[in-house]
Amino acid sequence: MSSSASDKAFVGSIPKIYAASLVPLLFEPYAADIAARLATRPVSRLLELAAGTGVVTRALSASLPQTATIVATDLNQAMLDEAAAAGTPRPVEWRQADAQELPFDAASFDAIVCQFGVMFFPDKAKAFAEARRVLKPGGVYIFNVWDRLEENELAAIITTALADAFPDDPPRFLARTPYAYNDRSTIERDVAAGGFATPEFATIAARSRAASARSAALAFCEGTPLRPEIDVHGAGALAVATEAAATAIATRFAAGAVDARMQALVVTVQG
């Protein structure tokens, strides 16, 4: 499996670890932010792209009017299965779908959201064009992406630690994909290529908290596509990687709980 393919492979044990460990570590504050941005907008039918294990879906289910319909999609069925098993405050339509080839009619939704998923779309302009196609005139598309790796302490620390642990072939998933799409001019270009107007940007800082350095290391090394990149180094590589990451995090934050900075860009475009 190529690196580009493995970057999208949330399979095996990854979905469960992702839901249990990575969601509270990274994603919950930003899910609440997206839900709050839609709270004052009239929403009758909402599409979620790259829903993962459903952290944003659950936030929206709790905050949107009961009359609003939510359709949550993801490329990886295993992630949707985990999301459906966790449940939502009200019924949600879960559907496997590729954001670049959405199985919906034109002008089907008055709002679209995508939390930390755009970075994984191979052809971003095509994915934006598909979102524009299924969005009603006057609708809104809100998505977020991670800011630079240097603004996200845990991801930066782990990337450096794994490069030191495997110098001949360092796992570069974090730097290559989730933390690599944050140049505003690039995003503006891709959004425009998809047929949208000029986007609005907001920079949102939050805190990434874990009970221990080891729990944070486990979340990244076992709950993301870092895992297959680590596994190619052979038996015992996962233990080596996790220990290296945990040691580096503990060195930065000392013993006990971890409280690290993280930062994302929230992008809003009008249909």
Burial of 97 (0-12, 13-18, 19+ CB in 10 A): buried
Tokens of 160: 């450096």
Q: 49 in the Ramachandran plot: left (φ > 0), alpha (ψ -120 to 50) or beta? A: beta
Domain that holds residue 132: 3-270
Closest-CA residue to 59 (of 48, 45, 74)? 48
Residue 8's pLDDT band (cuts 50, 70, 90):
low
Tokens of 51: 């829903």
pLDDT at 139: 97
- Cα–Cα dist 61/114, whole Å: 15
Tokens of 87: 């449940």
Element at 135 (helix H, strand E): strand 135-146
Structural domain tally of the chain? 1
Q: DSSP states of 171-198 as a string?
A: --HHHHTTTS---HHHHHHHHHHTT--P
Supply the angle between the helices 28-38 and 55-63 in degrees, to the nearest 10.
40
Tokens of 88: 């939502």
The mean per-residue pLDDT over the stretch 104-126 comes to 98
For the domain that residue 235 is a member of, what is the CATH number? 3.40.50.150
**Percent share of the chain, pLDDT over 70:** 96
pLDDT(36) > 70:
yes
Per-residue 3-state assignment (H helix, E strand, C coil) for 73-95: EECCHHHHHHHHHHCCCCCCEEE
Residue 5's pLDDT band (cuts 50, 70, 90):
low
pLDDT tens figures, 149-183: 999 999 999 999 999 999 999 999 999 999 999 99
Residue 6's pLDDT band (cuts 50, 70, 90):
low
pLDDT(3) > 50:
no
pLDDT tens figures, 60-114: 999 999 999 999 999 999 999 999 999 999 999 999 999 999 999 999 999 999 9
- Cα–Cα dist 220/229, whole Å: 12
For tokens 């999301």, the residue is 83
Name the CA dihedral angle for 234, 238, 239, 243, rounded to a multiple of 10 degrees.
130
pLDDT at 1: 36
Rounded to the nearest integer, the mean pLDDT of the chain is 95
pLDDT at 265: 98
